[in-house]
Amino acid sequence: MLKMFTSPRPELGQAKKNTVLVSHGRPPWYGEDGHRISDSYVIGIAGGSGSGKTHVARQIVKALGSIPSVVILSQDSFYKKHTPEQLVLAHASAFDFDHPDSIDMPLFAECLSQLKSCQQANIPVYSFKTHQREDEGRYLYGATIIITEGIMALQDPGLRELYDLKLFVQCDSDLMLARRLKRDVAERGRTVNGILEQYLRYVKPAYDNFVLPSQRHADIIVPGSNNAVAIDIISTHIRRQLQERSNSFRPKMAMPHLFPSISGKTVQDLNLTVLPQTPQLQGIFTILRSRTTSRQDFIFFVDRLSTVVMEHALRYLPFAPYTVTTPLELPFTGKVMDAKYVCGVSILRSGGALERGFRRVLHDVPMGSLLVQSNDHDGEPLLLHVMLPVCLRDRRTSGDAYVFLLDAQIGTGAAAFMAVRILLDHGVKPEHIIFVTFLVAKGGGISVLRRAFPQIKIVTAGVDDIMEEGWLDGLEEGEGRQVWAMMPGFGQMGDRYYL
Amino acid sequence: MTTPVAPPQPATNQSQMNPLPPSVFTLPQTAQLEALYTIIRSKDTSRGDFLFYSDRIIRLLVEEGLNHLPVVKKVVETPTGATYQGVGFEGKICGVSILRAGEAMEAGLREVCRSVRIGKILIQRDEETALPKLFYSKFPQDIASRYVLLLDPMLATGGSAMKAVEVLIEHGVPEDRIIFINLISSPEGLRTFCTKYPQLKVITGWIDLGLNDKAYIIPGLGDFGERRYCE
């Protein structure tokens, strides 16, 4: 079943354009050193108007079936911003939308290149109603496969360089015209005469002069109808390519949970910021660690601890001098928080346990979330949901943002690793990431996390020594899900806080 | 491989009292704390922000105050089956707020100490003698066996706080079992208070310049109760 990073849910096989679709979650796309191990796979589909490009794209998505995440990018989004004169022409159906010059190719290539290198992109939104680019862009992130479709998709050399596979959908002109007539009358409320006039004046010449010649760049020519065999061959090819990539990268993948070291690194080695172990903090930990603590007490003390650890973490924001006047009309030169954007991102589910504390100290900043779950058979982390604050979606603002990343503990470090990578993909500076947590296992994945991301700040309330291998409750060894537990730890934080 | 953790930015405003009396404890003077005080000191701060940011400081003060209470060794079993050598909280506590500004600190206290008992004292200036006078008090019956967190946001001359301590001692609370928590102190007030009650611990968030001729703390933040409740 396909699921999108953004709602609403599309029909299977009717993959919505310009939306990232996810089936079973996205596995790690980075190595143990924190760097990206492979680019996204990019497919370009060109062909005449009405040749069936979108159909081919959707059929490929459908045929691939269980794929991590995919986006179909439409060339239509990249029509240039029009001048007032052009707008008049456009409304009078006298503007040539079929000429390559009508497309903002540099922007198209920039967005595609961002997506290919696993960064977010904010693609423009073009309205056919107003014939103009809208002010708000559309945020896209996290596609493993990108399918670009449009009549000029193979036109621009800059774009062509980005494709891993280039397709051209070949179709007879009469069939294309027939489809176009049917569609424009039904969906765009146009008259037959208007459509034919536009066809002869713009569509046909553009096809002959630009679109058709671009087919020589294609790797595969796909028939525009009765193409089930072609699609089967193409999707088999794509699957094999993805499999080969995945096989060759697998040994390099970041799976810190496979390498828990008992060799206790010191807090200094790991560059952890540990809260002063005051009597109250020790008392709170004792309550949280005890298996006999009531649910009521557990929740209360988690909330109290999260407030304390958040207060501590906030010290690492930048501050600048600032003078105010007190009610006695006297000046006081103090400080003001000197960060342009501050936000939180919690790693669900257990990061939610820190949200109460977060809200007690930062009541007016946005709070995003990431859902990372580990896969049942090998514990590999899978990204299921991304909902980031607006300031992180755009690279023009994310560089100025400070992000508090929340998770209850860093054990294997797998989810933390993925979350940090997502923030870096979005252009957040590593030194602006403040990871806030209750407990870190020194012998766990923290060393891998620290090696990959030396600049992030990690603020923790406490430190445990080791991780021990275990099996999930009530299951025979060998049958159930293998888990790593922190020792002595406080058990499954998410379960104890929420269930 | 890794660089040592950079310390948080320090506050530029250093304490006005050096050295501090041995019974006085302040919060770590970080830029972050200074920024909180800058917000609540500004006369342009809205009531909503004043409430929110003064609550943050109060929680920090209460957390610090509780650290002066005793704990005992305690061993527990964790859900993973391991044993953990921890500590348990020892001794009963109660809050006592000096009306009416002290009441503003009760919400913060209860966020940290759920369902804690809270006594109240009303002390006002006697117009005839110009001395602080007890008008009203209501305490838990067993207050003599409890640690008392005495709450009053501003320590100016220290007159009403000292009167409150006097009343508590009359009710059988030993001096060294009282912890006085306030947001801002004047150096004069602190000196007088600590000289009279050297055993009593004072947790203060910030020590200001001094008092003006009307005995208001300067630069201060105005009338805490007024800003919290009435403006």
What is the homologous superfamily of the domain A10-245 according to CATH?
A: P-loop containing nucleotide triphosphate hydrolases (3.40.50.300)
pLDDT of B184 > 90? The answer is: yes
Query: What pLDDT sits at residue A466?
Result: 72
The pLDDT score that the predictor gives to residue A188 is 76
Q: What per-residue confidence (pLDDT) applies to A2?
A: 40
Find all residues with CB under 8 Å of A117, minimum gap 6, and list them: A36, A39, A40
pLDDT band, very low/low/confident/very high, at B13 (cuts 50, 70, 90): low
Query: Side chain identity at B10, as an amino acid letter?
Result: P
Task: Find the range with the poorest average confidence among A134-143, A185-194, A197-206, A233-242.
Answer: A185-194
pLDDT at position A166, please? Answer: 95
Model confidence pLDDT, tens digit, residues B127-156: 777 788 888 999 999 999 999 999 999 999
CATH 3.40.50.300 residue ranges of chain A are 10-245
- Least confident interval from A63-72, A222-231, B65-74: A63-72
CB contact under 8 A, A315 and B80: no
Q: Calculate the average pLDDT of chain A.
A: 85
Residue B25 to residues B17, B44, B152, Cα–Cα distance (Å):
12, 30, 16
Q: Name the phi and psi angles at B143, rounded to 5.
A: -60, -30
Residue B100: cis peptide before it, omega within 30 degrees of 0? yes
pLDDT of residue A479: 47
- How far is Cα A271 from Cα A459, in angstroms, rounded to an integer? 10
Q: Do A334 and B34 touch (CB under 8 A)?
A: yes
Q: Which of A267-271, A314-318, B164-168 has the lowest mean pLDDT?
A: A267-271
Q: How many CB atoms lie within 10 A of CB A170?
A: 18
Where exactly are the structural domains of chain B?
21-229
How many interface pairs between A and B have CB atoms less than 8 angstroms apart? 172
Residue A290: pLDDT band with limits 50, 70, 90: very high
* pTM attached to this predicted model: 0.87
CATH code, A250-498: 3.40.50.2020
- Cβ distance A363 to B71 less than 8 Å, yes or no, reads no
pLDDT > 80? residue A214: yes
Where do the CATH 3.40.50.2020 domains begin and end in chain A?
Answer: 250-498
Q: What residues 362-401 of chain A have any CB closer than 8 A to a CB of chain B?
A: 363
Q: Which of B9, B56, B67 sits opposite A361 (nearest CB)?
A: B56
* Whether A405 contacts A423, CB under 8 Å: yes
Q: Residue A476: its pLDDT value, please?
A: 44
Task: State the complex-level ipTM.
Answer: 0.89
Residue B39 above 60 pLDDT?
A: yes
Angle, helices A228-249 vs A53-64, to 10°: value is 50
Place of tokens 């500076």: A429
Which residue, B68, B60, B58, B117, is CA-closest to B89?
Answer: B68
State residue A108's pLDDT score. Answer: 93
The pLDDT tens digits for A411-438 are 888 899 999 999 999 999 999 999 999 9
**A272 contacts chain B (CB < 8 A):** yes
Report the C-alpha gap between A6 and A19 in whole angstroms.
Answer: 7
Give CA–CA dist A12/A1, Å, rounded. 7
Q: Is A330 on the interface with B (CB under 8 A)?
A: yes
Residue B10 has pLDDT above 80, yes or no: no
Judged by CB atoms closer than 8 Å, whether chains meet at B9 and A319 is answered as yes
Of A1-5, A33-37, B185-189, the poorest mean pLDDT is in: A1-5
Q: Which of B:79-118 have CB within 8 Å of A?
A: 79-80, 82-84, 86-89, 111-112, 114
The pLDDT tens digits of the residues spanning A331-359 come to 999 999 999 999 999 998 889 999 999 99
Q: Compute the residue count for chain A.
A: 499
Q: State residue A23's pLDDT score.
A: 65
* pLDDT given for residue B206 in this prediction: 93
CATH architecture, domain B21-229: 3-Layer(aba) Sandwich (3.40)
